Structure 1
Amino acid sequence: MEHTVYIRLRHRLQVRPNTVIHLEDIAQIIADEELFSVLRRLKMHQVIKEDNNIIIIDIMKVIKLIKKQFQMLEIQTIGPSQVIVEVARKKRKTSMSLFVLVWLLLFFGAALTIMNFHEDVSMREVHLKIFTIITGIEDEKPLVFQVPYSIGLGAGMIIFFNHLFKKRLNEEPSPLEVEMFNYQLDLDNYVAMNENKESMKNIDDD
């Protein structure tokens, strides 16, 4: 009797070195209960030392391995045609001195950027004119206007990036998170195209 199994590959998977990757690790499976218990433990890949940090498992390889054990099985695939497996090597502990150095560079770099922007658009002169128009008083240091503006500038950046330290203000992603997401998608597409040997064929391969 012919059975049908539905497979949807995951987009990305992170594993440790020397891990045995099973079908359930890289895909969602819908099948009969008895068949599912066998398919989920089907070996897809063994991570070895020679593997790079990125491994691409193509859907054709998955089908080939399943068909090798279940020849009469009908396989229906849904979604991505390959899964990106990232081998998580041991990470070096972050140096506190390096962290402080990077933090200082970012802090003063951002501060200088804001100061230079304000200088380019003559923000000080604008504040003086607005203060004079509102109060009728000429003051070289209208702190009653400049201090709330500075506080509002910081509050606006917190709202824009939707984060206060590690706390998220709401569930909406920030523009930075969206850009990082798009960058990761482009990176994954590039890796999938260039690391997947089955997706490319050169004239010398014949």
Structure 2
Amino acid sequence: MPADRVTLYIKGDRDIEVKKQEVTLGDILTMECSDRAMLARIKPLKILKIQKQGKQRFVVSVLKIISCIHEKYPNVEVQNLGETDIIVTFEDQKTPGKLWHVLKAAFVAVVTFCGAAFSIMAFNNDIDVTKLFGQMYELVTGRETDGFTILEITYSAGLTIGILIFFNHFGRRRFTEDPTPMEVQMRLYENDIQTTLVEDAARKGEEIDVGMGSTGGSGGRRP
């Protein structure tokens, strides 16, 4: 390897959100290089120019990024430590009011509460919990239940405690540092969405890759 050959390390996440229409390498990558002057000149290099307003997504291949760097610095060695395809999401930054956030949170809370309550009631009716508890109470005590016994109390308390432990938090307080089941499922869902976006862009020839004449955000296909 020549003595003057410099190595540039780049790392990009799978999904990047940008706020401006002219996207540079520094906007979508974390970079490290021993040549600080060269690194400062590489970060402002433009990789994508978004033509339209509104929410848009683009898939940029790391090969296109390397090609963009080599156009300016052909002798630099680029080592990719991140994703091979980067999803760039552009959306007009509109700051909604606090009232709108409160209304959305309240709506989600009401829908979730009603759905959970309906599921629990459907389960209780399906197995006839009231009759089951009555039989158990009569079997143990020899007396008929009046419909409100220690079994109903402990069942209700246990159901609440079990839900809190399962979802691993109450309000903003976490019981452990582990992610909640909801967070795990959301992460899996996000990964599936990102994989689908990358595969669809590659299948349709819309991925921004080497061989494309322009990095404009209006879309394009490989020649």
TM-score normalized by the length of structure 1:
0.83
In 2: Cα distance, 1:29 partner to 1:2 partner: 17
CA, structure 1 residues 115+64, in 2 after alignment: closer, same or farther (shift >3 Å)?
Answer: same
Contact 1:4 1:75 in 2 (8 A): yes
- Counterpart check, 1:43 vs 2:46: yes
CA, structure 1 residues 155+7, in 2 after alignment: closer, same or farther (shift >3 Å)?
Answer: same
In 2: Cα distance, 1:138 partner to 1:50 partner: 70
CA RMSD of aligned residues (A): 2.7
- Counterpart check, 1:55 vs 2:58: yes
Corresponding residue number in structure 2 for 1:137: 143
Deviation at 1:78, TM superposition (A): 2.5
In 2: Cα distance, 1:2 partner to 1:30 partner: 15
Show structure 2 runs of 5+ residues with no match: 210-220
Corresponding residue number in structure 1 for 2:218: none
CA, structure 1 residues 168+112, in 2 after alignment: closer, same or farther (shift >3 Å)?
Answer: same
Q: Among residues 6, 20, 34, which one is paired with 2:9 in the alignment?
A: 6
Q: Among residues 176, 182, 185, which one is paired with 1:176 in the alignment?
A: 182
Contact 1:17 1:49 in 2 (8 A): no
In 2: Cα distance, 1:103 partner to 1:174 partner: 17
Deviation at 1:153, TM superposition (A): 0.6
Deviation at 1:11, TM superposition (A): 1.8
User: Which runs of structure 2 are paired with 1:13-162 in the superposition (5 Å)?
Assistant: 13-18=16-21, 20-32=22-34, 33-49=36-52, 52-89=55-92, 90=94, 94=100, 100=106, 103-162=109-168
Moved over 6 A (4+): 95-98
CA, structure 1 residues 101+36, in 2 after alignment: closer, same or farther (shift >3 Å)?
Answer: closer
Percent same amino acid at aligned positions?
25
Greater Cα shift, 177-186 or 108-117: 108-117
Contact 1:16 1:88 in 2 (8 A): yes
The size of the alignment, in residue pairs, is 202
